[in-house]
Amino acid sequence: MKKKLLFFIALCIVGISPAWAQQDPQYSMYMFNGLLVNPAYAGSRELVSVTALGRYQWVGIDGSPKTATFSIHGPSRNEKSGFGLNVYNDRLGFTNQTAANAMYAYRLELGPGILSLGLQGGALLHNNRWQDAVTINPDAGAPATSTTAILPMAGTGAYYYGERFYLGAAIPNFIPNKYKNPNSVNGSVASRQKMHLFATAGVVIPLGEDLDLKPSVMMKYTQNAPIEFDFNAAMLFKKVLWVGASYRTGDALVFMSEYVFKNQFRLGYAYDLTLTPLRTYNSGSHEIMLGLDLGWNKSRIKTPRYF
């Protein structure tokens, strides 16, 4: 039953049928590394920031999504620009995607904050191992071998932030790449990539000398799929420990924490409790994050860094 369920999910995502689903990787701790969803975030931490993140989704379902991400970004010496690089590998069943994007952000002071306008570009290596697909009955029309495609990626975003607030919007990839039908003699299109729009906002509210509250929200939209919201709230204790929770509409409850060591090292963990009918088949999702902040000099490193 689990493999049948997985195959149906995979069909929706890789596009053998005309069904549409969210095609970009999903993250629960995006608020600790905005570069995952917005190229304009590059350089906004005012130092060189390195982050690695691993996500194991829907534990207990064979071939469930697994995502690994590495990112690095920082400002230019004159702080007018930001640069970044994000690389990820995303697996679901017999589908494997590896992508790399380089980011550039131009920053200017505007009112009480900084407005950053970002661009990103790169490539996606998309591979389907059709021979690994499990079907209820053998399908003579199903491809018998792997298919691979290298697809271009280009995206843009805007990010406006101050010491205790941020607003952002981004389209990580606006190129409508086409997936060809591997059994078609004339190269007919099986499906297309759809643009994903992400909008984010957050604020930090001081509640005392050693206590801060950070509510935030993210909206995700893609054509022919329901609009999804992440509503988040996190408490910061003693300027080093974040503890929070999120509600992802129609999907999951998320519990998360991040601890900052010596003003530089960051360790984060998130657990997703599935709320959909999939909860019958899995024991939740796990996400772990490791981060390192490196300043041009020691005076640049400070705690806390809210965003």
The pLDDT tens digits of the residues spanning 264-273 come to 899 999 999 9
Spatial distance between the Cα atoms of 69 and 89, rounded to a whole number of angstroms: 7
Amino acid occupying residue 298 = K
Residue 218: pLDDT over 50 = yes
pLDDT value of residue 244? 97
Q: What are the DSSP E strand ranges found in the chain?
A: 48-56, 66-75, 81-92, 95-110, 113-129, 146-161, 165-171, 178-180, 189-192, 196-203, 205-208, 211-222, 228-237, 241-248, 252-261, 265-274, 285-294
In terms of C-beta density within 10 A (0-12 exposed, 13-18 middle, 19 or more buried), how is residue 57 classed?
A: buried
Task: Tell me the pLDDT tens digit for each residue of 126-167.
Answer: 888 876 776 666 655 566 677 888 999 999 999 999 999 999
CA–CA distance, 198 with 230 (Å, rounded to integer): 11
Using pLDDT thresholds of 50, 70 and 90, give the confidence band for residue 187: low
Asked whether the predicted pLDDT for residue 2 surpasses 90, the reply is no
**Average of per-residue pLDDT values in the chain:** 85
Report which of residues 86 and 140 the model is more confident about.
Answer: 86
3-state secondary structure of 23: coil
Confidence (pLDDT) at 297? 55
Q: What is the mean pLDDT of residues 7-25?
A: 46
Cβ(204)–Cβ(232) below 8 Å? no
- Between 5 and 78, name the one with better pLDDT: 78
Provide the pLDDT for residue 306. Answer: 87
- Among the residue ranges 132-141, 208-217, 220-229, 284-293, the one predicted with the least confidence is 132-141
Instruction: Using alpha carbons, select from 236, 201, 203 the residue that is nearest to residue 217.
Output: 201
- 208-232 average pLDDT score: 93
Res 162: pLDDT: 94
Residue 138 is predicted with a pLDDT of 63
Cβ-based neighbour number of residue 260 at 10 Å? 21
Q: Given this model, what pLDDT does residue 101 score?
A: 97
Question: Measured between alpha carbons, how far is 10 from 3 in angstroms, rounded to an integer?
Answer: 10
Average pLDDT of the segment spanning 242-247: 97
* CB 184, CB 220: distance < 8 Å: no
Interval 289-302: pLDDT, tens: 999 998 755 555 55
Average pLDDT score over residue span 7-11 = 44
Instruction: Tell me the C-alpha distance between 87 and 100, whole Å.
Output: 4
Q: Which is higher by pLDDT, 171 or 297? A: 171
Write down the pLDDT at residue 295: 74
Q: Check residue 46 and give its pLDDT.
A: 87
% of the chain beyond a pLDDT of 70: 81
CA gap 168, 172 in Å, rounded: 12
pLDDT at position 139 is: 59
Q: What is the pLDDT of residue 184?
A: 55
Q: Which of 289, 293, 237 is nearest to 265 (CA)?
A: 293
pLDDT at residue 10, as a whole number: 46
| Contact between 266 and 278 (Cβ < 8 Å) | no
Mean pLDDT, residues 236-253: 95
